[in-house]
Structure 1
């Protein structure tokens, strides 16, 4: 006897969809134009995020909007993003399940509260690195002040607890280039390991287009997703996901199925396939 491949009932288990957000489900108008995305006529665009001034910032094309609505109806949608607890509030899309934020430093439960066990774990990882992160912050600030002022530097912080007390800790450092000079960021990434002793022992650098992040090794989407899969999610339910950057690939490889949009860093690393005409 075999189990039927189709079970038509309203209680059928939905798969988990673990999704990167920026440049996977939505992107800025500048990137829409650069990637020449289909169904991106002005009347088809759906606003997905706003900036700090509450101005429209990122959009979904018609196809992306259809994809997102299908995800909402057919899966339990879990956001896995570099956005922190402040930045996620500027995303206008509804999320009512788990959320992996700040490159994996924070896990938000479906009730909107931080997952305490993960909070304590990250506290233990970050607390010993605070002096080094503060040192890095000072060095980068000096670099910024002595440069042509085209670098936009943002330390990312949040409140963590050790089981008794809460404390605001530095998590990671982000740098953008005001003129979107991607090569300048790539060059800076090469210089960073020379700033402090044992840099590579404690930190790694991720660069994707106009985003450079300096992260402790303990902060990674993969670590948080592994914790979710092991401790929080139903192991009987399948999982799949999408992401656009090389930093997404490690967490995607934990899932049953994964993919990428036909644009972005991960897609661009694939060699072009040439097929001879039959």
Structure 2
């Protein structure tokens, strides 16, 4: 039986130094564009990696784009899911053609509204004097979703943007778009874009090659719950956003 592990990266397998529970025994694993180390694995995260990698196919399932994934020093050798599911790379590193065709259509159908939202957010940031920046994430020539982040440790500015502008905008489009907020990351995604869609597609695709599949989903955010629910088993780190919303209530 073949085992597939669909694993989120940031805050699941590694995190920035200030999020690490201790400074002891940290292993550098991801860098910024300037080459400086930004993210680290703890000893327990490295042990989890070795456990999963020993007898399974690990498939990163991440919001990172290709450039950002290339700066992660982990030996993924099979399929890769990027951009919240916008891009699926095959084991040779090339985009899966049927999936790209599907997501090209999704991108073309949503970029008009995302660009309009981008203008609204930029105007709001300027008029309200917020310390935040916003952009539309693109990869392989396709725009996928909008993301805003706060600056200068002014997290409340991002919360204000979320509550006063983004939520009302989404309330009128709840059937077509959704919000993801986790720390310094506020993303507006088309509902047709999602890790869960890509995971479901790959499970079906690889299941045609090998009907005996065991699937495991590993993630930390509420938005990861959807792709983890596509799998036979689910793993989330203790203290994660997903843990706090589910298992923490059992304690």
Same fold per superposition (TM over 0.5) = yes
Structure 2: gaps spanning 5 or more residues = none
Counterpart selection for 1:194 from 160, 165, 168:
168
Q: For 1:185-234, what per-residue CA distance to the aligned partner results, in whole angstroms no more than 9, with x for missing partners?
A: 33322321434894323311111111110111111111111111112343
User: Per the alignment, do residues 174 and 151 of structure 1 end up closer, same or farther by CA in structure 2, a change over 3 Å counting?
Assistant: same
Provide structure 1 residue ranges, at least 5 long, that are not aligned to the other structure.
Answer: 1-12, 160-167
Deviations 1:33-66 (A, max 9, x none): xxx3xxx443x11111001211010000111112
Higher normalized helix content (fraction of residues): 2
Matches within 5 A, 1:156-235: 156-159=137-140, 168-190=141-163, 191-195=165-169, 198-233=172-207, 234-235=210-211
- How far does residue 115 in structure 1 lie from its aligned partner after superposition? 0.4
Cα distance in 2 between the residues matched to 1:272 and 1:123:
40
Structure 1 residues 1-278: aligned runs within 5 Å: 13-32=1-20, 36=21, 40-42=22-24, 44-159=25-140, 168-190=141-163, 191-195=165-169, 198-233=172-207, 234-270=210-246, 271-274=248-251
**Maintained 8 Å contact 2:170/2:178:** no
Deviations, residues 215-259 of structure 1 (Å, cap 9, x unaligned): 111111111111111123433121112110100001101111112
- The number of equivalent residue pairs is 247
Relative CO higher for 1 or 2, CA cutoff 8 Å, sep ≥ 6? 2
**TM-score under structure 2 normalisation?**
0.91
Q: Secondary structure in 1 aligned to 2:148?
A: strand
CA distance in 2, matches of 1:75, 1:196: 39
- Quote how far apart the aligned CAs of 1:119 are: 0.3
Larger radius of gyration: 1
2:78 partner SS: coil
CA RMSD of aligned residues (A): 1.9
Q: Which moved more, 1:124-133 or 1:76-85?
A: 124-133
